[in-house]
Amino acid sequence: MFDAPSAPAFEIEPLPQNDQRTTMSTPTTTSPSQLPDYIASAKPNPPSNRAPWFKNTAPTYAGIFLWFIFWDSIAGKALATGGLGATLLGILLGALICHFLFYLVPGLLGLKTGLPLYVVGTSTFGAIGGLLMPGLLMGVLQFGWLGVNTWGSATALTSGFGGGDLLFYALCVIWAVGAAFVGLKGIQYVAKVATFLPLIPLAVLLIGLVLFAGSSFSYTPPAEASAQSGGGLQAILLMVTGIVGFFATAGAAAVDFGLNSHDDKDVQKGGYVGIIAAILLTAGISAIALAGAWAAGVIEPDFVSNSGLKMTDALKQKLPGAYPLIMIGLTLAAFPGACFSSFIAANSFKTVMPKVNPFVSVGIGTIVSIILAVTKVAGELPSVFGIIGASFGPICGAMAADYLLAGNCWSGPRAGFNPAGWVAWALGFLVGILPNLHNWNASIPDVPAAPVAAFIVGFAVYFACAKVGLISPVISMPNRADVS
């Protein structure tokens, strides 16, 4: 599926070592001898290894949004707050923000440099700082995703089979350990079957649409809930927050997708289909089906127990005989994602801590994932998405500012710890995490659409720091090759 094209769409020409294509006052370029080994040894992905958008970027991103943990419960609270129209508008707005703010610049950086995220990120956080941000952070957060995947899959299987807590705990351990082992030793086999598994959640979504869409537009939210919680505007903000928070890490990872793209049109089209269209399809169908199930009285929402807030809750009532098979299918389709999280974490740790056996680092992370799953902390999806959005919102914002300041190109690795990037991240994270802190202590102020606010703060602070000179000098990179 990922065959290389027969001829490159462009030729990569090496830049002069002291290339300074930038619109800001860039500090003097320092010697390449200051480059850490992991940057000095990095080689751009050649055109012969690249493929069109429909063979890499679009299907991979679409697979992320077909994960049932994303779409199954994403719309419940928004529907109850502002109704179906506002919820669908929030889904559209969230999809556009994911593409244009979080994905596009990282994707273009990957395209133009041919280099992976942990190298490209050094222009924002420095040659030394880049090991930690986004390098190590990306790896650490993968175990958070493994915990979410483990919790969701174990919950779905336990529900499908009608088991209790003991079955849930056992499934958590088996799922996390199995995914970690496969991610370390057999990821190539998972990749081969993962191409077809997304057809399962797609089929489930279409079944839900056929069963419940007919009554969806007759749904109206409870007047009391709508009046107390802000109505349509609040519903829009809830959808934007959930969608963008879920997507934030994948936005930064667009660098690694972009380095496999032919040109900027491939980057754009991959996002249009794999992000915007996929979000509208998955979250949109789930919202329509859930609204229809509520309107038809198939299920009733219960915000105390969180029951009746998922599309699969409606399928359980409508198709009780097929429900176990549906949940088995959805969890089977989720397993490659768990394996890939372990694989990405292992690669991150091998880059940051090359002397540590990956079985040790991944093993420790897997134990953490199991704890998050069995304690059901990983099931608090709004809080989890909030942490993800707070962490990677300012990263994407700072990277976008650095890209624009450098004249829509990659400025190159910067020496040490780049102050502009770290200050931008710290302040952006502080803003982004406020809703989580507010839930813990009501006296702490809340922030609507916090992942987007974190992006804006990260962008603005980096831009300001760069303009006042609070930025590290660029280190010359001999093997660098940029596409204009």
Scored b (16 or more CB within 10 A) or e, 202-213 reads bebbebbbebbe
Quote the CA–CA distance of 407 and 94 in Å, as a whole number: 27
> In the numeric block, which tokens belong to residue 314?
């409606």
Given pLDDT bands bounded at 50, 70 and 90, which one contains residue 328?
Answer: very high
Read off the DSSP letter of residue 408. S
pLDDT, tens only, 69-88 = 999 999 999 999 999 999 99
**Cα gap 118→135, rounded to integer Å:** 5
Q: Poorest-confidence range of 145-149, 191-195, 205-209, 335-339?
A: 191-195
The mean-pLDDT minimum among 5-19, 240-254, 360-374 falls in 5-19
Distance between CA atoms of 153 and 68, rounded to whole angstroms? Answer: 9
Cα separation, 369 vs 373, in Å, equals: 6
Gap between the Cα atoms of 159 and 64, Å rounded: 23
pLDDT digit string, tens, across residues 24-69: 445 556 666 678 888 888 889 998 889 999 988 999 999 999 999 9
Give the orientation angle of helix 137-161 with respect to helix 231-252, to 10 degrees. Answer: 120
Residue pair 222/235 in contact by the 8 Å Cβ criterion:
no
Q: Are 91 and 290 contacting, i.e. CB atoms less than 8 angstroms apart? A: no
Token pair for 241: 């927050």
Per-residue confidence at 22, pLDDT binned at 50, 70, 90? very low
Show the DSSP H helices in 353-446 as ranges: 358-374, 381-405, 419-432, 434-440
State yes or no: pLDDT of 4 exceeds 50.
no
Decide which of 1.10.4160.10, 3.80.10.10, 3.40.1160.10, 3.30.9.10 is the CATH code for 52-381. Answer: 1.10.4160.10
What Å distances lie between residue 88 and 221, 239, 308, 352, CA to CA?
14, 8, 19, 41
pLDDT at 482: 72
Mean pLDDT of the chain: 89
Could you give the dihedral angle defined by the CA atoms of residues 44, 276, 378 and 393, in that order, rounded to the nearest 10 degrees? 60
pLDDT of 207 > 90? The answer is yes
User: What CA–CA distance (Å, rounded) separates 461 from 409?
Assistant: 19
Residues of the chain with pLDDT > 70: what percent? Answer: 89
Global model pTM greater than 0.85: yes
SS3 301: coil
For residue 145, give Cα distances in angstroms to 138, 218, 384, 460.
Answer: 11, 36, 9, 29
pLDDT value of residue 350: 83
Number of other residues whose CB lies within 10 A of the CB of residue 370: 25
Nearest CA to 289 among 206, 355, 357, 230? 206
Question: What is the pLDDT at residue 23?
Answer: 42
CA 18 to chain CA centroid, nearest Å: 35
Give the single-character DSSP code of 272. Answer: I
Percent of the chain with pLDDT over 90: 72
How far is it, in rounded angstroms, from Cα 411 to Cα 472? Answer: 11
pLDDT of 18 > 70? The answer is no
Q: Of residues 190 and 383, which shows the higher confidence score? A: 383
Residue at 25: amino acid letter: S
Question: Distance of alpha carbon 268 from its chain centroid, rounded?
Answer: 17
Confidence of residue 15 (pLDDT cuts 50, 70, 90): very low
pLDDT at 58: 93
CA distances from 228 to 139, 141, 234, 431 (A): 40, 35, 10, 25
pLDDT higher than 80, residue 152: yes
Using one digit for the tens of pLDDT, what is the confidence trace for 397-432? 999 999 999 999 999 999 999 999 999 999 999 999
Q: Which amino acid is at 90?
A: G
